[in-house]
Amino acid sequence: MKALEVLTKREFVSYFTTPVAWIFLMIFVSLSGLLTFYAGNFFERGQADLQSFFLFHPWLYVFLIPAVSMRMWAEERRSGTIEMLMTLPVSTAELVLGKFFAAWAFVGVALLLTTPVWVTVNYLGTPDNGVILMSYLASFLIAGTFLSVGSCLSACTKSQMIAFVLTMMACILLTFLGSDALIDAFSNVAAEKVMKLFQSFGFLIHFLSLTRGVLDVRDLIFFVSFSSVFLFATVIVLDHKKAV
Amino acid sequence: MIILEHVTRKFGSFTAVDDLSMTVSKGEVLGFLGPNGAGKTTTMRMISGFLMPSSGKITVCGYDVAENPVQVKQHIGYMPEVASSYNDMTVLSFLNFIAQARGLAGSAKEKAVARVVDNISLNNVLYQPIETLSKGYKRRVGLAQALVHDPDILILDEPTEGLDPNQKRDIRTLIRRLREDKAIIISTHVLEEVEAMCSRAVIIDKGKIVLDDTPRALLSLSETHQTLFVLIPGYQKERAQTLFTEMQQIILTDIKQETPEAFLFTMQTKERESATADVVEALHRQDIKILDMFVEKGRLEEVFYAFTSPDRELKGPMQ
């Protein structure tokens, strides 16, 4: 597992050598703050919690995660460094995990930078910090799941742009699967059972249940298994489509 | 150390490498030649475990590349044709990364990196981001990356491409120094390099081996192999000409006035065997002065052209 550590570290450090990382951090922190206070009516609600903060996270991720994940493999392919990387004595799985963990840790840094919001709400009142911690975990998990999707799609192409657009579409779809709007739209067409099945694949429902502070193992299993499937898919894509 | 058995690689309907078999042993420096698109890079990528063969078997240091790719990769240092390093890293941090990824740590890592930096003279650029380096330095970083773990097998895809003559010389010297305890495969378009550093030359075309021999043996296939050039003083031109025309072993092909006082005679030997001694003796007997004389070893370029040019079916390889 030593190699995994080395790979993760290099990838993580490499994020900060590009301006994209700093722009990402800036946009994430400022947008999540703005949305909380303006769109989320943080003050008007008069409640000491961070519901209005976390509510927007999936929507921020839909646009921002693809920006993080797009370069994972597409850039290696375009510049040709994939050849050097894949002739190192490490398994494809280690390479995929290394990149994934690095990206996930990077998003983790972005989340850590939002702690002023948490400080604020604690200053203003006495929120349930357990729920907030759980919500942070939920937010981190959903980010990881989006990243795994992004990893797979980035491995499919040489172009970061294509990787970005595809990942964004996929993330929107996955988020929407659970939304009421989609359920309503199809409720006349599909049987209730089918809709329930679709809904269970939606991210939002699992995310919301976690942010309510209920640690349901099923939600955890959902995110972890979903990520694993896409990371495994990344390994398969890379093994079959290494060259060019 | 490297065994390829009936290796074929297809990309869609295109066959890049076609039923190729060869063995490379320790101590050998194999020059891998062929026109662009002949399958050199594909073959090297398969040996290094980057690509899998469509069929056939590759064994490296006793390990099957398909079954134990990680073990195989541990024994190989591979320098790809294109970018082989991360542009945003400095030379030192990149080499450290490669050393660590290859399982070196602590003082072993420090030592390995220092050794390779010294060998390839990267001292001046250690703290520079790789993207700011010249092409020559980038290639050298690529080479350093392939050497950092002191591999048993070295696979270099056009290592001297884009280097200036001095740098090329350095690389050749380095490879000659390394070859004793390694098996080395080098692909190149620079044919004099093969003569300079390879113990064996393999020419492939359309995915198949067309020639496999020592560079010296390949040279003897050249049309100009053993062509003899003799410089004779002008006043003895007529006598020399008569003599050469009468000699059975040679065919006089050209007489050219080099300077006002000297003529250069070009002659081909029959069967391309050396006739130098005979010619010298005959000239001596006739008291003809030899101003200068040299023998052409042959040109790899000609052999290369004869065996790989598209119209070779028309011309046919010589003899």
Which range among A204-213, B13-22, B279-288 shows the weakest confidence by mean pLDDT? A204-213
Residues making up chain B, counted from first to last? 319
Sole residue written with tokens 């709400």: A121
Its ipTM equals 0.87
- The residues in B 43-82 lying below 8 A from A, measured between CB atoms, are 45, 48-51, 69-71, 73-74, 76, 78, 80, 82
- The residues in B 91-120 lying below 8 A from A, measured between CB atoms, are 97-98, 100-103, 105
* Tokens coding A53: 């903060």
Q: Where residue A211 falls among pLDDT bands split at 50, 70, 90?
A: confident
B141 touches chain A (CB under 8 A): no
**Does position A219 have pLDDT exceeding 80, yes or no?**
yes
Q: Where residue B65 falls among pLDDT bands split at 50, 70, 90?
A: very high
Give the predicted TM-score (pTM) of the model: 0.85
How near does any CA of chain B get to the CA of A44, in Å?
47
Task: Collapse the DSSP code of A144 into the 3-class scheme (helix H, G, I; strand E, B; otherwise coil) and give the result.
Answer: helix
Q: Tell me: the pLDDT tens digits for B146-156? A: 999 999 999 99
- Identity of the amino acid at B20: L
* Minimum-distance CB partner of B101 among A7, A18, A242: A7
Instruction: State whether B102 and A88 contact (CB < 8 Å).
Output: yes
Q: Tell me: the pLDDT tens digits for B264-296? A: 988 887 776 778 888 888 888 888 888 898 888
For chain A, domain boundaries: 2-176+223-240
Show the domains of chain B with their CATH numbers. 2-219 (3.40.50.300), 228-295 (3.30.70.2250)
Instruction: State whether B100 and A6 contact (CB < 8 Å).
Output: yes
Distances (CA, A) of A178 to A160, A167, B83, B98: 28, 18, 44, 44
Query: At what angle are helices A57-69 and A92-112 packed, to 10 degrees?
Result: 140
- Give the integer Cα–Cα distance in Å for B195 and B298: 11
